[in-house]
Structure 1
Amino acid sequence: MKRSAEITALEERLGHRFDTPDRLRRALTHSSMSSPGREDNQRLEFLGDRVLGLVMAEALLGSDRHASEGLLAPRFNALVRKETCAEVAREIDLGAALKLGRSEMMSGGRRKMALLGDAMEAVIAAVYLDAGFDTAKAMILRLWGNRIAQVEEDARDPKTSLQEWAQARGMPPPAYVEVGRTGPDHAPVFTIEARLANGETAQATAGAKRKAEQHAAAALLAKLGGD
């Protein structure tokens, strides 16, 4: 079947030319445009989610060979969540190629996070079916760019590290409670207490609430001694 200019342009942005362009067309077809002769992308979305998950799991295991499952899980979730898929979709202007019904189009469907995330997963599945796992993996790693390295960097945030510490031990996430506030409204100073479900706590003070939370998390981690 003949390629449209729209499909050709998207293939260039994806870095993959389809042997069967209809796979890409189906991946771009929202349920609002489905009909007896036109399948939507929901089944492809289901498959693409699994392909993406395997690629990211492999990448994380390879990038940190000593991390426990409890440390890897939140990093994995950050890389495969719908919001991240939608971010990638926006970067390659996937929304411009979506096949939407009139109501979805009028309501801004090309910009909706859920639609973009679903379509990105469907496109991953289409590439996998068209050319195999290795090709899909190469595309995913290229499109996700430095996000894998960035999620490792984010993990060094004391709040993230404390959450991972708690998660690895079956605890709920830490709580951050404002226990004091001084100074004028235009320049407040916050005292925050980081609390774990096991009763461990630590406090810190800073001129910004987030900074105080980070300092409190760091203090609690130091108190725990890396246990």
Structure 2
Amino acid sequence: MAEHDESKPESFVEKIAEKIHHHDSSSSDSDDDKPAPSSLKSKIYRLFGRDKPVHKVLGGGKPADILLWRDKKTSATILGSVTAVWALFEVFEYHLLTLICHLLILTITVLFLWSKASSFINKAPPKIPDVRIPEGPILEFASALRYEINRGLQSLREIASGKDLKKFLAVIAGLWVFSILGSCCNFLTLFYTSFVLLHTLPVLYEKYEDQVDAFAEKAMIEIKKQYAVFDEKVLSKIPRGPLKDKKIA
């Protein structure tokens, strides 16, 4: 009787354990059937093949905050200052040399009159700061500019070597578009337009990136189709030079 009574709780515990194990296995199977979030994320098309947030793509830090309007006061100040400079030279047709001379005349006159007036009212003359251009930032800027120019020249050299036809056609099309823009407006207007686009397009893209990426994916598919047709009808028919005879070992 004692052995029969002890077998009942053991069988009851075993039944509970089997139910729990069955529930865990079924839930794990259902979880395995669901696609992983990483796999879903990898299937999403991103513009220019990026896999990082827009803030990281722009370099992060303060410059990215300004371009994405995270620091609205600084971004508005920079954009307003550049707009004022552009309006001064383009709308009011001011000249750079004239502006520099007028600013120097105004500054020197104000400091001179202030110094003379302070001697009459028995006050200390104004302390004119000793302004000097530091050597470090100038050398850093020159080094960075030199690096970027060398990298651009290296890229042009690789494109001109004929290794990548798609990149060659893209660069030619881009230079052709820039040549048209250069004939329509001067350099300052082109620089200002690029500056405004740089301060507006990233923040708009970050806000509507899903819609833009979906549209860009469709556009890239269509471009690849058109390029395939162009390659079949034009590029494949371009005569090529005779191949060199292979050396017989």
Structure number with greater Rg is 2
Higher relative contact order (CA 8 A, sep 6+): 2
Q: Under a length normalisation based on structure 1, what TM-score does the superposition of the two structures give?
A: 0.26
Normalized per residue, the structure richer in helix is 2
